[in-house]
Amino acid sequence: MAKQISTTYGNALFELALEEGKLDQLLEEVTEVRDIFKSNEELGKLLNHPKIPKEEKITCIENIYKSKVSDELLGIMVVMIKKDRQKGIVDVFDYYERRYMEYKNIGTAYITSAVDLRDEQKKAIEGKLLDTTRYEKLIARYEVDKAIIGGLVIRIEDRVVDSSIKTQIELLSKSLN
């Protein structure tokens, strides 16, 4: 159900932003507001409290965001509160960001190595990934995990390429048994 809510409202927000030519502006706003929601548990508790009337919740959101975000973003939050969907606001914002990245052909790669990579190594990896994927731009998130011993583990969406020495040892061990 939560996925359906985020998809429905997220698509509505995306289509509106596309129609209004505000994709980039709304992405910035969505990111900022989402970060506020995630870091401020009290705001979430207030919006989800069953004894606080919807009108007060809407007034609170309008007082906080009226002059800080676009009417489109404020409007989607108000509609969600009116329909008792405020628990899904952050999910809607996450969905909007994913949809934006997909539309702009931007991918995110999670790259794990056993040691810190030099800048030229990172550029080479990113270049190779851009050549082998459909993305025009890539956001690379690097992580060091000594447990993989050597090699790389690269994850883009639901695809994983694991060339780590740890995995190769495990596969060799299984084949020997």
pLDDT in tens, 64-78: 999 999 999 999 999
pLDDT at residue 1 in the model: 58
Helix axes 54-65, 71-82, angle to 10 degrees: 160
Q: Which residues of the chain have pLDDT under 70?
A: 1-2
CA distances from 28 to 54, 170, 171, 173 (A): 27, 44, 44, 49
Q: How far apart are the first and last CA of the chain?
A: 45
Question: 7, exposed or middle or buried, with CB in 10 Å at 0-12, 13-18, 19+?
Answer: middle
pLDDT at residue 143 in the model: 97
pLDDT at residue 92 in the model: 96
The answer to whether 114 touches 148, Cβ cutoff 8 Å, is: yes
